[in-house]
């Protein structure tokens, strides 16, 4: 269904739209309108018939045990997180620095890059 007209009375833009719409001949004919209404009535009648026969519900029952799997998965995740924290907490300072991506305090400094070798002298031309 269409909504009621909420435009203010005397709105020039709405009035021009209605005039242009009335002049447009590209709208569907009466046979299309009747076909749409017939289909809608068929769908409504089918909905009423299925509701009257008491068809089986499509939603799962509220007492199904699907929540138990979710609860078990949550407990397993909490346990694994606890083990990970415990492993990190019992690690050495070097392992903790490595976990945070910081260089270890006891690690030797990185070696300086070696200087580039001097180019070799060009060979002397052979006497001819």
pLDDT tens, N- to C-terminus, the chain (128 residues): 577 778 788 889 999 998 998 888 888 888 999 999 999 999 999 888 777 666 565 676 677 777 888 899 999 999 999 999 998 888 888 888 887 787 766 656 667 777 777 777 777 777 76
- CA 60 – CA 58 distance, rounded (Å): 7
Q: State whether 40 and 73 are in the same domain.
A: no
Q: Give the start-end residues of each E strand in the chain.
A: none
- CA 52 – CA 44 distance, rounded (Å): 12
Q: State whether 72 and 96 are in the same domain.
A: yes
Q: State whether 18 and 44 are in the same domain.
A: yes
pLDDT at 94: 86
Does some domain include residue 20?
Answer: yes
User: What is the number of domains present in the chain?
Assistant: 2
Q: Map tokens 């409504």 to a residue.
A: 44
Does some domain include residue 76?
Answer: yes
- Least Cα distance to 5 among 121, 14, 105, 13 occurs for 14
Does some domain include residue 124?
Answer: no
- Under 8 Å between Cβ of 68 and 74: no
pLDDT at 87: 87
Q: State whether 18 and 48 are in the same domain.
A: yes
Task: Name, in order, each residue with C-beta under 8 angstroms of 98's C-beta and a sequence gap of 6 or more.
Answer: 104
Q: State whether 72 and 39 are in the same domain.
A: no
Does some domain include residue 108?
Answer: no
Does some domain include residue 116?
Answer: no
Does some domain include residue 110?
Answer: no
Alpha helices in the chain (DSSP H): 12-23, 30-53, 66-89, 93-100
Does some domain include residue 88?
Answer: yes
pLDDT at 41: 95
Phi, psi of 14 (to 5 degrees): -65, -40
Task: Tell me which residue range forms the domain holding 77.
Answer: 67-100
Does some domain include residue 2?
Answer: no
């Amino acid at each position: 269904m269409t909504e009621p007209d909420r435009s203010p009375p005397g709105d020039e833009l709405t009035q021009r739209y209605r005039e242009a719409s009335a002049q447009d001949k590209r709208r569907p004919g009466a046979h299309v309108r009747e076909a749409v209404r017939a289909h809608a009535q068929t769908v409504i009648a089918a909905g009423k018939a299925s509701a009257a026969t008491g068809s089986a519900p499509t939603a799962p029952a509220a007492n199904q045990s699907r929540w138990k799997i979710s609860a078990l998965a949550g407990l397993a995740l909490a346990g694994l997180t606890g083990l990970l924290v415990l492993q990190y907490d019992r690690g050495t300072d070097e392992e903790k620095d490595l976990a945070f991506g910081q260089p270890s305090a006891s690690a030797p400094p990185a070696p300086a890059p070696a200087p580039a070798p001097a180019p070799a002298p060009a060979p002397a031309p052979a006497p001819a």
